[in-house]
């Protein structure tokens, strides 16, 4: 009924992409009204204006997530709804989750229906999420105290026993980004993120977004989840990216997908924050993010990072049978030998800086450019990818698979020769119902192949009872890449795998870099040895290895900047926008707009500095006379073999001597860089002999100031816990303010001036009930200064 690998992230680097109910147990027990929640806010996390977000219910006063004394880093496991055992294949139920080893469980998947609301389908005894039961299965007995059955019942039953574990509902996935599976198991080609967030003309569909976000809040309250995980594949301007079944929806909207994505995540963050304040519990928001430099080039600067508690990087599907290049599914590092990158000139073109970008280390540094290490989780696959009839390479590695016709519905014409049959146990079906060659197997099956074992389960996956293995599957390992694989020399089959050696090495990397933890797709692929049967089966060997590495690790990195930033921040807006679309966006050439939202004039010569991640080489420049220079690069090597050596390139640019920036004025410059980066961060601005941070960085502990008033802007009084609107009795404006007094009950059109707390404020767009001084750097109210 369901494609067993329907969340897969399939993409190319060249032209085309293919194919809480129980949350109170985590409370500190202290009244939220008595807690300084701002002290617990993670560095860089956007705070909904006017809301006292109960961060301290989830985070400590260092802004680190509280997960239990033996969980210093996250271990997030995706738990899929379709491995029910109803078709005879091995079931993987909530009772199979290693609850003492994980910190978070993401249920995959819910979807956005045709009405734009979050759904898992109609309630019935056949609904795996809310209605199905498993009589006679030990551990799968329903909790009678809950009004629903299915996976959701069991997830909450086990959370009672493991109250430090959080659950999130994951919405979307490869097959349910632009549509969804109906109750009959057939895919419905409407609903989904593309049309919910973006109108056909490319504009933001705010009505659809609001419906979705409201329903997401109601959904997690109803079913006891701790937050929402968005798996949108993909809001990028790169043509034909994502599921080929969605292209009629996605391609028509390419120009507006990034804006729709940002509006979606902002609305979700704000509605979750307001619900959390009312419920005295902070609700989590995360995304599964691509790791492909190709896709990320079309996602501007991944502006949504500010709204996320953390990001889960899908640092896998880096090579696969969507093309002929044979390589690892999820290597940690580049080795300078990837023929796919070589064919694109990545190693030989100086503008790329020799940086290979098909590896987890590159993807981590992309997100590290805008986030503390602790708000990033590195993805690991518990499944293989593979090829057959491989020619050349070292035991297949970096060889080439013969070209072949792509599976029906793949959206491509030429693919590599993907492994099939016993080498493709977890295969998808193409649109004609035939096996899609991909070499996709759970790790427990790959271990059996390695040992020459035909498991007793193969007939359940459509293989004959007399299946025998041809040739030997010899394990290989490349320490530079941190990548194991199986090579069958007789069949010329290459299967990229993960095992204890690679997972331990990746866990060491996570600890060393201060990364928040790991995410795995999917828990059902992990293995253990069954001595009685003489074969490998589903287990928790790899998850346990990560837990053992993390349980006594140092706390994760909780600060974004690697340098000390000023304690005073100015309200100066920064926007990287007007990116050329798709393949036209190379070199990457946005317009950067600086807007002075203070009451002081910024004189010519004012210096701005900021960091961008070492995912791009240290050769960014402007073409507008601002003298952009790289004043520090943490990665100075000629390539990134074995990993990038540091996090940031620091940039300096100055207003030209003839260019001052008056209050309310903006200036735009042309900017150029050569590999994708996430939102440049750690800004400073220097003029008049003083250096300030920028409010838009959402830095922990920074106080928003205005140099024109010579004193910090007062911190607004937090909205009382449970309230969702502005204070009912605003402080009257004083002095000689000429604009009308702001009223919480009045509506204001864009460009309207009001007076409030002895300042004049101007609305940027229509607003009602949003208190001036609480809407933040990019909010509706612009402070025009004292009056």
- For residues 300 and 287, the answer to whether their CB atoms sit within 8 Å is no
Rounded to whole angstroms, the Cα distance separating 429 from 540 reads: 28
Q: Where are the domains of the chain?
A: 1-318+359-382+513-523, 568-706, 732-787
- Give the chain's end-to-end CA distance (angstroms, integer): 66
Pick the range with the lowest mean pLDDT from 24-28, 202-206, 224-228, 702-706: 24-28
> Quick check: do 1-318+359-382+513-523 and 732-787 share a fold?
no
Model confidence at 620, pLDDT cuts 50, 70, 90, reads: very high
Query: CA 335 from chain center: how many Å?
Result: 26
Looking at the DSSP bridge assignments, the partners of residue 495 are: 386, 486
Give 501's pLDDT tier (boundaries 50, 70, 90): very high
Least confident stretch, 21-30, 345-354, 661-670, 773-782: 21-30
Q: Are 474 and 487 in contact (CB under 8 A)?
A: yes
The pLDDT tens digits of the residues spanning 85-144 come to 999 999 999 999 999 999 999 999 999 999 999 999 999 999 999 999 999 999 999 999
Helix/strand/coil for 473: coil
Pick the CATH number of 1-318+359-382+513-523 from 3.20.20.80, 3.90.950.10, 3.40.640.10, 3.40.50.620: 3.20.20.80
Q: What is the dihedral of CA 564, 566, 570, 575, to 10 degrees?
A: -10
Q: What's the rounded Cα separation, in Å, for the pair 627 and 630?
A: 10
Q: Per-residue confidence at 32, pLDDT binned at 50, 70, 90?
A: very low
**Who contacts 718 (Cβ-Cβ below 8 Å, separation ≥6)?**
37, 51, 52
Q: What is the mean pLDDT of residues 11-17?
A: 33
Q: What is the pLDDT of residue 549?
A: 98
CB 787 within 8 A of CB 739: yes
Backbone angles phi, psi at 457, to 5 degrees: -95, -5
| pLDDT surpassing 60 at residue 547 | yes
What pLDDT shows up at residue 729?
30
Percentage of the chain beyond pLDDT 90 is 84
CA distance 398 to 770: 57
Distance CA 505, CA 486 (A): 18
Reported confidence tier of residue 786, pLDDT bands at 50, 70, 90: confident
pLDDT band for 776, please (50, 70, 90 cuts).
Answer: low
Question: In this predicted structure, what is the pLDDT of residue 763?
Answer: 82
**Per-residue model confidence (pLDDT) at position 744:** 78
The pLDDT value recorded for residue 99 is 98
Contact by Cβ (8 Å): 438, 419:
yes
Q: Does residue 652 carry a pLDDT above 70?
A: yes
- Asked if 353 and 41 touch (Cβ cutoff 8 Å), the reply is no
Q: Which of 493, 498, 497 is nearest to 401 (CA)?
A: 493
In tens, the pLDDT along 277-330 reads 999 999 999 999 999 999 999 999 999 999 999 999 999 999 999 999 999 999
pLDDT tier for residue 33 given thresholds of 50, 70 and 90: very low
> 672-705 burial, b for 16+ CB within 10 Å, e for fewer?
ebbbbbbbbbbbbbbbeeeebbbbbbbbbebebb
Q: Is 591 helix (H, G, I), strand (E, B) or coil?
A: strand
DSSP code string of 189-234: SS-SHHHHHB-TTS-B-HHHHHHHHHHHHHHHHHHT-SEEEEE-S-
Q: What does each C-alpha distance from 284 to 42, 98, 514 come to in angstroms?
A: 12, 22, 21
Backbone angles phi, psi at 548, to 5 degrees: -65, -35
Report which of 5, 1, 92, 586 is spatially closest to residue 317, judged by C-alpha positions.
5
Structural domain 732-787, CATH architecture: Ribbon (2.10)
Percentage of residues in the chain with pLDDT exceeding 70? 91
* String of DSSP letters for 523-539: GGG-EEEETTTTEEEE-
Class of 568-706 in CATH? mainly beta
Q: What is the pLDDT of residue 784?
A: 82
18 has pLDDT over 50: no
The model carries a pTM of: 0.88
pLDDT at 775: 77
Neighbours of 402 (CB within 10 A): 14
DSSP string, 609-658: EEEEETTS-S--EESSSS--EEEEES--SSS-BT--S-SEEEEEEE--TT
Rounded distance between C-alpha atoms, residue 77 and residue 409, angstroms: 29
The pLDDT score that the predictor gives to residue 772 is 86
Tell me the backbone φ, ψ of residue 286, rounded to 5 degrees. Answer: -140, 170
| CB 423 within 8 Å of CB 440 | no
pLDDT for the residue numbered 323: 96
What whole-number distance in Å separates Cα of residue 597 and Cα of residue 572?
Answer: 5
Measured distance CA(234)–CA(230) in Å, rounded: 11
Eight-state DSSP code of residue 421: G
pLDDT at 272: 98
Please give the pLDDT value at position 738: 78
Q: Read off the pLDDT band of 778 (50, 70, 90).
A: low
With beta carbons less than 8 A apart as the criterion, state whether 708 and 637 touch: no
At 642, the pLDDT band (50, 70, 90 cuts) reads very high
What's the CA gap between 264 and 199, in Å, rounded? 13
Alpha-carbon distance values, 670 to 293, 575, 722 (Å): 22, 12, 45
Name every residue whose Cβ is closer than 8 Å to that of residue 55 and which is 6 or more positions away in sequence: 37, 38, 40, 41, 42, 63, 282
Mean pLDDT of the chain: 91
Query: Does 522 score more than 80 pLDDT?
Result: yes
CB of 545 within 8 A of CB of 500? yes
**Is the predicted pLDDT of residue 704 greater than 70, yes or no?**
yes
Could you tell me if 515 and 378 are in contact, meaning their C-beta atoms sit under 8 angstroms apart? yes
248: three-class secondary structure by DSSP: helix
Q: What torsion do the CA atoms of 507, 513, 514, 519 make, to the nearest 10 degrees?
A: -40
Q: What is the pLDDT of residue 13?
A: 34
**Whether the predicted pLDDT of 584 surpasses 80:** yes
Alpha carbon distance 425, 439 (integer Å): 8
**What is the sign, positive or negative, of the torsion defined by CA atoms of 415, 421, 427, 428?**
positive
């Amino acid at each position: 009924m369901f494609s067993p690998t329907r969340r897969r992230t399939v993409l190319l680097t060249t032209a085309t992409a293919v194919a809480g109910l129980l949350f109170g147990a985590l409370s500190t027990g202290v009244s939220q009204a008595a807690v300084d929640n701002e002290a617990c806010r993670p560095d860089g996390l956007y705070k909904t204006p006017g809301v006292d977000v109960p961060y301290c219910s989830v985070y400590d006063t260092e802004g680190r997530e509280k997960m239990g004394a033996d969980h210093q880093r996250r271990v997030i496991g995706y738990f899929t709804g379709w491995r029910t055992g109803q078709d005879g294949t091995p079931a993987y139920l909530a009772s199979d989750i290693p609850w003492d080893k994980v910190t978070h469980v993401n249920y995959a998947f819910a979807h956005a229906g045709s009405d734009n609301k979050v759904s898992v389908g109609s309630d019935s005894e056949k609904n795996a999420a809310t209605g199905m039961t498993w009589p006679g299965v030990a551990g799968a007995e329903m909790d009678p105290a809950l009004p629903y059955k299915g996976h959701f019942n069991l997830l909450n039953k086990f959370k009672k026993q493991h109250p430090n574990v959080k659950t999130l509902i994951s919405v979307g996935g490869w097959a349910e980004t632009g549509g969804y599976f109906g109750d009959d198991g057939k895919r419905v080609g409407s609903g989904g993120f593309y049309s919910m967030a973006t109108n056909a003309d490319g504009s933001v569909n705010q009505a659809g977004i609001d419906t979705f976000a409201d329903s997401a809040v109601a959904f997690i309250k109803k079913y006891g989840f701790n937050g929402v995980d968005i798996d949108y594949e993909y809001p990028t301007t790169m043509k034909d990216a994502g599921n080929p079944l969605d292209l009629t929806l996605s391609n028509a909207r390419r120009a507006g997908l990034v804006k729709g994505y940002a509006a979606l995540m902002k609305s979700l963050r704000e509605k979750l924050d307001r619900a959390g304040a009312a419920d005295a519990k902070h609700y989590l928001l995360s995304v599964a993010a691509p790791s492909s430099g190709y896709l990320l080039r079309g996602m501007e600067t991944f502006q949504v990072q500010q709204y996320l508690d953390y990001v889960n990087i899908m640092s896998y599907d880096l090579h696969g049978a969507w093309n002929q290049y044979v390589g690892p599914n999820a290597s940690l590092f580049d080795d300078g030998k990837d023929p796919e990158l070589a064919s694109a000139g990545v190693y030989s073109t100086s503008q790329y800086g020799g940086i290979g970008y098909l590896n987890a280390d590159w993807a981590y540094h992309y997100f590290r450019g805008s986030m503390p290490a602790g708000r990033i989780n590195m993805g690991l696959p518990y499944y293989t990818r593979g090829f057959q009839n491989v020619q050349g390479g070292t035991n297949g590695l970096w060889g080439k698979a013969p070209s072949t016709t792509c599976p029906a519905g793949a959206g491509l014409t030429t693919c590599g020769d993907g492994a099939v049959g016993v080498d493709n146990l977890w295969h998808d079906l193409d649109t004609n119902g035939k096996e899609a060659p991909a070499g996709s197997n759970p790790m427990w099956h790959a271990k059996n192949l390695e040992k020459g074992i035909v498991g007793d389960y193969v007939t359940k996956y459509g293989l004959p009872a007399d299946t025998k293995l041809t040739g030997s599957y010899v394990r290989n390992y490349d320490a530079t890449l941190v990548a194991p694989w199986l090579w069958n020399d007789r069949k010329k089959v290459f299967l990229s795998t993960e095992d204890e050696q690679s997972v331990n090495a990746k866990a060491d990397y996570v600890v060393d870099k201060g990364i928040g933890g790991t995410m795995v797709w999917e828990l059902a692929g992990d293995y253990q040895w069954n001595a009685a049967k003489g074969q490998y089966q589903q287990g928790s060997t790899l998850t346990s290895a990560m837990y053992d590495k993390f349980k006594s690790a140092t706390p994760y990195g909780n600060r974004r900047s690697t340098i000390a930033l000023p304690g005073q921040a100015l309200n100066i807006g920064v926007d990287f926008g007007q990116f050329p679309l798709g393949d036209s966006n190379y070199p990457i050439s946005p317009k950067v707009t600086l807007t002075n939202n203070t009451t002081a004039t910024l004189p010519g010569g004012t210096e701005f500095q900021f960091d961008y991640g070492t995912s791009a080489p240290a050769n960014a420049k402007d073409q507008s006379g601002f003298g952009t220079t790289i004043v520090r690069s943490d990665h100075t090597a000629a390539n990134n073999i074995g990993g990038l050596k540091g996090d940031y390139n620091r940039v300096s640019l100055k207003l030209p001597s003839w260019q001052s920036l008056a209050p309310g004025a903006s200036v735009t410059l042309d900017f150029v860089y050569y590999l994708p980066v996430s939102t440049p961060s750690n800004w400073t601005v220097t003029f008049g002999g003083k250096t300030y941070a920028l409010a838009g960085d959402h830095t922990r502990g920074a106080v928003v100031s205005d140099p024109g008033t010579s004193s910090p802007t007062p911190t607004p009084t937090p909205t009382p816990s449970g309230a969702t609107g502005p204070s009912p009795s605003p402080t009257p404006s004083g002095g000689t303010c000429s604009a009308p007094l702001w009223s919480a009950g009045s509506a204001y059109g864009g460009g309207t001036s009001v007076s409030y707390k002895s300042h004049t404020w101007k609305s940027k767009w229509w607003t009602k009930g949003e208190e001036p001084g609480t809407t933040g750097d990019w909010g509706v109210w612009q402070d025009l200064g004292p009056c």
